[in-house]
Amino acid sequence: MVVIVVTPANKKDRAVRAIVNSDNSDYVVGVARVRRNPEDARALILDAAERVFAKHLPDTVGLKQVAKEAGISHALITHYFGTYDGLVEATLERRFQRLRDTLLPRMIQLLAADADAKTLLTAHRREVRTTASDPTMVRLAVWASLSGRVDAKDFFPHRVQGLRLLADALEGRSKASREDLEMALITSFALAVVWQSASRAIAGAMGKRHTPELDAWFEARADDMLDAFLERSARRRSR
């Protein structure tokens, strides 16, 4: 008997094992499981989930579609993520982590250069707009909001508190009150999300066309508005 192992054998990253009798009269073909460490297995599942959520809202699909995309069993997904909701949230958290991994070095660079609050807010808003332009991120964020997951105490933004850390950095570079700095940060975040998501509709409602020049106009006005707000706050505190 001859044993032939061919790896990889198909797009699902499985190995096919063919067992053939020496006279070629009979054969058995089976699928050999590929062993992965937990980190690789989680990454495989999350990658598959992202591909599925790039095309569908999380509530319109489930474990079946993700398992099929990953080429694994439902049981393996529940082993690592517990529930389908746990998988969706882990996918959203990983995408937010990528945002932090992109934003953090930029913030550190600006802080080292002694950048002012206006520059920090502008940099943060730019990264938020980039993230809000990602359809997968938007679908996952909508799911988190509509499912009520955002209200849970263990929802990851409540644990990470990234905006609080940014507010700490702003406080060291502005004479505005902490309360007003937080308000400016929230407003900047909201402006970025709303404009990125609905700028074409907003432009049309104003009788304008959405153009790069209109984007630049919006960013300049947002900067001026937030800067004036923080300057007024600083003046009030100095009285």
Instruction: Read off the pLDDT of residues 132-170 as tens digits, 9 standing for 90 and up.
Output: 888 888 888 888 888 888 888 878 777 778 888 889 989
Compute, in degrees rounded to 10, the torsion defined by CA atoms 82, 88, 90, 92.
-170
Q: Looking at the structure, tell me whether residues 54 and 126 fall in a common domain.
A: no
Q: Looking at the structure, tell me whether residues 223 and 123 fall in a common domain.
A: yes
> Residue 118: how many CA atoms within 13 Å on its side-chain side?
13
Q: What is the pLDDT of residue 19?
A: 42
- 134 assigned to some structural domain: yes
Instruction: Check if the beta carbon of residue 124 is closer than 8 Å to that of residue 188.
Output: yes
Q: Looking at the structure, tell me whether residues 45 and 8 fall in a common domain.
A: no
Q: What is the pLDDT of residue 25?
A: 43
User: What are 63's two structure tokens?
Assistant: 């474990």
Q: Looking at the structure, tell me whether residues 24 and 64 fall in a common domain.
A: no
**3-class secondary structure, 111:** helix
> How far is it, in rounded angstroms, from Cα 10 to Cα 29?
14
- 197 assigned to some structural domain: yes
- Report the candidate in 202, 201, 190, 172 with the shortest Cα–Cα distance to residue 226: 190
Structural domain of residue 160, as residue ranges?
94-238
What is the count of structural domains for the chain? 3
User: What are 188's two structure tokens?
Assistant: 């900047």
Q: What is the pLDDT of residue 68?
A: 95
- 87 assigned to some structural domain: no
- Report the candidate in 82, 113, 81, 107 with the shortest Cα–Cα distance to residue 94: 81
pLDDT mean across residues, the chain:
84
Residues of the chain falling short of pLDDT 50: 1-32
β-sheet bridge partners, residue 17: 5, 30
Q: Looking at the structure, tell me whether residues 166 and 215 fall in a common domain.
A: yes
Q: Looking at the structure, tell me whether residues 48 and 23 fall in a common domain.
A: no
Q: Looking at the structure, tell me whether residues 163 and 118 fall in a common domain.
A: yes
Question: Is the pTM for the entire model greater than 0.75?
Answer: no
Instruction: Check if the beta carbon of residue 38 is closer than 8 Å to that of residue 29.
Output: no
Q: Looking at the structure, tell me whether residues 134 and 222 fall in a common domain.
A: yes
Q: Looking at the structure, tell me whether residues 11 and 110 fall in a common domain.
A: no
Q: Looking at the structure, tell me whether residues 207 and 186 fall in a common domain.
A: yes
